[in-house]
Amino acid sequence: MATEIFENGHALVIGVGDDLPVTVNDATAINNVLADPAMSGYDPKNITLLVNEAADRNGILKGFDDLIAKTDEESTVFIFYSGHGGYYKPWDQYYLVPNGFKPDDHESTWLSAQEFQEKLNGLQSKKTILFLDCCHAQGMTKSKRAPVISEEAAEEENDPKTSLEKADELAGKFDDVSGLSYVSSCRSNQKSYILGGDNNSLFTKCLVEVLQGKHKTTFDDPYVRMTEALQYLWREVPKRCKEPQMPTVKIEMDADLILSLAPQTLRKSPTPIKVETDDFLIEMSKEELGQLKELFKTQSDLVNQLRKEKMKFIDGTSIFKTELQILDAQMERQELMKKIKNLMAQVGGG
C-alpha cells in the first residue's frame, strides 16, 4: 500500500548557523521529522531546508518566493526559523540576522521585519503557522515601522556598527498578516535555552516530540493539531527549564489547524487503552471507586465553569487561554474515566 502523504502541506525551515551551530541542528531535526513518511508525512518536494550559507538574505527571500509560487489558499504552510534577530535604534526597526550578516551592510545582508512581513502577506494560505526559536523571540510581534530619515541623520544619531541592540532579538509585527498564527520560543525578556547534553534547543526538542506524536494519549485522530502542540509546548518547556522560558502565541484560525499527519504507526494501528492490572487496583474497594467518580464529577464541573468564563471574554488571547484550560481539564477528565473503567473491570463496580 502506498505511503500516505500530507499532500497540501508545505514547509520553509531555516537554521542560520554562523555563531549558532545549534540552529542548524534545530532546522535539520524539524526537516527530518516533517519529511519522514512514517512521521509527519510531508512530501520532501514541498519542504525547503535552508541552513548555513543557504540561509543568507538572498536564500531566505528566494525560499519565500518559491513558497508563494507553489502554495494556495488551501495549503498548510509550516515556517520554522532558528537564529538571531536584532534591533536598529535610529530606524526603530527590527530585522532578521541571516547567515553572512554584516552590521554595516544592511542592504545586502540584513532582512528587515518589514520585508519578512511582506513575504508572509504574499502567501495565499489561510493556514500558515510560524515557529520562532530565538532569544527574546516575542519581540518578533512588537516591531514598529521604520521612520523615514535621511542616511546623514541616521549616521549622526547612531552608527550601525554600535547601535545594534540585543543582536539576539528577533522582532517584527505580524498581527495583521491574514491567516497567520505564530508560536515563539519565549517571551521578549527571556532567552531560548538548550539543556545540557541535548543537540537541540528545548523549544525545538519539544516541537519535534509533538510531531512525533509523543504528546498523544489516544490515537483516534490521524493528525497532529495546533492546540495539541500548544498544550504540550506550554506544559513541557517551562517544566523542563530551570530558567524562565514560556512560549508565546498568536492564533488566527477558524478550526483546529492541522500541523501534520500523526506518526504512521499510530494512524495504522491505533494504540488501545491498556487495562492496568497492578495489585493496588485489584485491591481497591468500591468505596474508592466512588471517590474516583466524585473526582470525575468535580473535573466535569470545572470544564463547565471554564466554558461559562470563556463567554465573558471579548479579548481573543483570554478566550484562547481559557480554551486551552478547557482542553487540559477535558484531558484530565478523560484520564479519570480511563481509570474508572479499568477499576470497574477489576472490582465489578457499577
Least confident span in 59-73, 219-233, 322-336: 322-336
Beta-bridge mates of residue 313: none
- Length of the chain equals 350
Tell me if residue 17 falls in helix, strand or coil.
Answer: strand
Dihedral of the alpha carbons of 66, 256, 224, 22, in degrees to the nearest 10: 50
pLDDT value at residue 84: 79
Q: Identify the weakest region by mean pLDDT among 46-55, 94-103, 105-114, 321-330.
A: 321-330
Is pLDDT above 50 for 122? Answer: yes
In the prediction, which pLDDT does 219 show?
66
Q: Torsion over CA of 85, 88, 93 and 94, rounded to 10 degrees?
A: 10
Q: Which DSSP string corresponds to 62-128? A: HHHHHHHHH--TT-EEEEEEES-EEEEGGGTEEEE--TT--TT-HHHH-EEHHHHHHHHHT---SEE
pLDDT (average), residues 98-119: 84
pLDDT per position as a tens digit, 71-107:
999 899 999 999 877 667 777 777 788 888 887 787 7
Residue 136 has pLDDT above 60, yes or no: no
Digit-coded pLDDT (tens) for 292-311: 567 667 767 777 777 777 67
In terms of pLDDT, which residue wins out, 296 or 265? 265
Decide if 125 contacts 72 (C-beta within 8 A). yes
Q: What percent of the chain has pLDDT over 70?
A: 67
Strand partners, 103: none
CB atoms within 10 A of CB 223: 17
pTM above 0.75, yes or no: no
Q: Average pLDDT of 326-333?
A: 73
Per-residue confidence band for 26, with pLDDT thresholds at 50, 70 and 90: very high
> Three cell numbers at 147?
521612520
For residue 278, pLDDT over 50 is answered with no
| Domain map (residue ranges) of the chain | 9-266, 279-347
Least confident among 29-38, 163-172, 175-184, 290-299: 163-172
Q: Which CATH number fits domain 9-266: 2.60.40.10, 1.20.58.190, 3.40.50.300, 3.40.50.1460?
A: 3.40.50.1460
Evaluate whether 66 touches 48 at the Cβ level (below 8 Å): yes
The answer to whether residue 60 scores a pLDDT higher than 60 is yes
Identity of the highest mean pLDDT range in 67-81, 98-112, 258-272, 328-342: 67-81
Residue with cell 502567501: 123
Mean pLDDT of the 140-156 span: 33
Section 186-204 average pLDDT:
83
Of the segments 29-33, 164-168, 195-199, 291-295, which one has the largest average pLDDT value? Answer: 29-33
- The whole-chain average pLDDT of the chain stands at 75
Residue 295 has a pLDDT of 67
Assign 50 a pLDDT band (cuts: 50, 70, 90).
very high
